[in-house]
Amino acid sequence: MKKLDPKDVSTVIILNKSDAATKTLQVKTKHIHRLKFYALGLFSVLALLVLTIVVQRQNNTRHELERQQLLSQIKSLKGQIPESLRRAGEEHQAQSYIQAIEGKLKKINDYLKKRGLKGFSTPSVGGAGNADADLSDKEVYMAYDSYLNSVVTAVAFTPMGYPRISSLTSRFGYRSDPFSSAKAEYHPGIDFKGNYGDAVKCTANGQIVSAGWSGGYGNCVRVKHNNGFETVYGHLSRITVKVGQKVHVGDKVGQVGSTGRSTGAHLHYEVRQNGRPVNPTKFLTLNN
């Protein structure tokens, strides 16, 4: 161990009042010279800590005052009735529109679930949150109600979802001829796997325009909907509707079979728009 030069070492004498003996402590002289810097650094850290605590307390006090003011404002607003609802009968009418809106949302949800699509939550609509100062709350509710009327109609009469919940065995477009693999044929719909007698359900509100034998389709049902849409259900073992009958989403139109040009039990399903086949997979979910 390297021996320290005496001039580099300072001796510190420690006196104890209760003891006549004294103690000595040898410290490097350079540390004694730096002691004031150590003390200054410690003081700076303590000062910064105290300042941080003071500022934090001031912020907490300010935030608490702001929170109390906000709570007071909210409490005051809750006790007020919008001016547009102060007139006689306005509040009752607005509530009626709210109930009608909630009913339509539930109806849309029911349509989706009947098609095998995932429904959505329907929380209370209460409180229009009028963003347009030129419209009263009642007028906002009326506009929302009118808009939902069109949505309900569109959802009801547009083919969406599954005529039966099962896997697809053949898709839309050109494919190999199931009776001759050397040939190709155009498939105007999609095929769902099924067993004889499985229920086949309508995917939109409409009217039966054809129910009977239809060449290669075998026992077939064709339903006319709004907006130029039609749906076709083919190869049925049994038809459970009649021409002219009105049907709704989820109504049974027949049963799975293998009639007509078919190699086994399945459901052939088509969606047509203005008489032309369109890919039904675009209508199976809301995300397509």
Mean pLDDT of 257-266: 93
d(CA 228, CA 232): 13
Which residue ranges make up each domain of the chain? 1-79, 91-157, 168-283
d(CA 76, CA 129): 17
Q: Mean pLDDT, the chain, as a whole number?
A: 76
Question: Could you give the CA distance from residue 149 to residue 164 in angstroms, rounded to a whole number?
Answer: 27
Each residue's pLDDT tens digit, 69-116: 666 665 665 555 455 544 545 555 556 666 666 676 777 777 667 766
- Per the DSSP assignment, residues forming a β-bridge with 236 are 219, 256
CB contact burial 115-151 (16+ within 10 A = b; e otherwise) = bbbeeeeeeebeebebeeeeebbbbbbbebbeebeee
Q: Which numeric CATH code is attached to 168-283?
A: 2.70.70.10
| Whole-angstrom Cα Rg for the chain | 40
Position of tokens 């006090």?
A: 61
| Percent with pLDDT over 70 in the chain | 55
Break the chain down into helix, strand, coil percent, rounded to 5: 40, 30, 35
Question: What per-residue confidence (pLDDT) applies to 192?
Answer: 95
Q: Which of 220, 258, 263, 259 is nearest to 240 (CA)?
A: 220
Report the predicted TM-score, pTM, of the whole model to 2 decimal places: 0.55
- With bands split at pLDDT 50, 70 and 90, how would you rate the model's confidence at 130? very low
